[in-house]
Amino acid sequence: MSVLSKLQPFFIILSALIGIALGKFIPFLEQYAGNFIELFLMCMLFFVFLNVQIKEITKSFSDLRFSFSALIINFIFTPLFTFVLSKTFLSGQIDLQIGFIMLMVTPCTDWYLIFTGLANGNVSLGASILPLNLILQIILLPLYLLLFMGTEVSFEISTIIYSIVLVLIVPLVAANAVKFIVKKINGQNLLIKIVKKADDIQCILLCFAIISMFASQGVLLLDNTILFIKLLPVLLIFFVVIFCVSLFTGNVLKIPFENSISLVFTTSARNSPISLAIATITFPLQPVISLVLVMGPLIELPILAINSIILKKIGKTNQ
C-alpha cells in the first residue's frame, strides 16, 4: 500500500476544504465544477474495477464465519438500522433521509482496507469480500431506496438503473474489456504496472471529484451548516453501534481477533463515492442529497481512524 493510499483520508478532507475555498472565492467555478463530478468518479471507478477480480469472489468464502457475518451485517442489519435512524432523527426531511440511506447501505470498497491495515487486521481477508460487497450494493441500492423511501418521494426506478449503468456498469465493462484486450496482445506486464498504480490513481481522481463537488456546492454547504450538525449525532450513533455489533459478533462466533478487525471495518466504512455518482444523476435537482454524501466522509474518516487506534490497543492487550 503506497504512502498516497495510506494518507487518503487526509487528502479527502483537504480536497473538501480546497473545493469549498474555490467555490467561495472563484464564483464562476461554481457554475462549471459540477460538470466534472461524474467524469472523475467514472474514471475512478474504472481503476477500481481494473483492480478487482470478480472471479475471485469464491475466496471470500474461505472463512465462512467472517463472510456470512459481514454479509448479514452489511445487507440486512445495516439497512434496517439505517431506516430506523432516518425515521427517528431525520423524520420529515426527505432529502436528508435519502442521502443518509444511500450513504449507509453501500459498504466501502477501498479505504476500509487502509484502516484494517492500520489496526493490524487481516487485510487479505477483508479484501476477499470486496467484489461481493460491490456487486450486492449495486443490485440492492435501488431496492433499498424503493423499499424505504418509495412512498415518500417521487423518483423513477428507471432513473436509478440508468445512473447505475452509466457510472458503474460502463466503467466495469470498460475495465474488463481493457483486461481482455491486454491479455490478447500479451501485455500483462503493462497491466500489472497499471494495476500497481491503480490505488494512487483512484485516490487522485476521487480527490478531484470531491473538489468539484464542494466547488459546485460549497456555498450551499456553508449556507446549510445545520445539515452537518443534524448528521453528526446520527452518524456517531451508527458507527458506535456497528462497531459494537461487529465486535460482539466476532466474539460470539469465536472469530480470531485479527479477522474481527476486518469485520469491523468492512461493516463500518461506507462507499460514498459510488453513492455520490448515482445521486448526482438520479437527483440532480436535490443537491442536499449529494451534500450528505460528501459530508459523510468528513465525519466517517476520523471515526474510522479512532476505531483503528482502539482495535490496535485491544489487540496488543489480548496478546
Taking only the tens place, the pLDDT of each residue in 230-270 is: 889 999 999 999 999 999 999 999 999 999 999 999 999 98
Residue whose C-alpha is closest to residue 99's, from 265, 8, 208, 230: 230
Question: Quick check: is 319 in a domain?
Answer: no
DSSP string, 264-303: HHHHH-B-HHHHHHHHHHH-TT-HHHHHHHHHHHHHHHHH
Distance CA 54, CA 22 (A): 39
pLDDT band at 73 (very low <50, low <70, confident <90, very high): very high
Distance CA 28, CA 112 (A): 36
Question: Quick check: is 318 in a domain?
Answer: no
Residue whose C-alpha is closest to residue 127's, from 109, 140, 115: 109
Taking only the tens place, the pLDDT of each residue in 157-178 is: 666 677 677 777 788 788 888 8
34, 220 Cβ separation under 8 angstroms: no
Q: In total, how many domains does the chain have?
A: 1
User: According to the model, what pLDDT value does residue 176 have?
Assistant: 82
User: According to the model, what pLDDT value does residue 17 have?
Assistant: 84
DSSP classification of residue 35: G
Residue whose C-alpha is closest to residue 304's, from 260, 255, 270, 273: 270
Element (H, E) at 11: helix 8-25
Distance CA 260, CA 291 (A): 32
Distance CA 115, CA 121 (A): 8
CA angle 223, 228, 230 (to 5 degrees): 115
Task: Please give the C-alpha separations between residue 71 and each of 158, 263, 272, 295, in angstroms, as whole numbers.
Answer: 26, 10, 18, 25
CATH of the domain at 166: 1.20.1530.20
Element (H, E) at 257: helix 257-268
Q: Is the pLDDT of residue 134 over 60?
A: yes
Give the range of the structural domain holding residue 275, as residue numbers without chain letter.
Answer: 3-313
E strands within 119-174?
Answer: none
Q: Is the pLDDT of residue 156 over 90?
A: no
User: According to the model, what pLDDT value does residue 169 have?
Assistant: 78
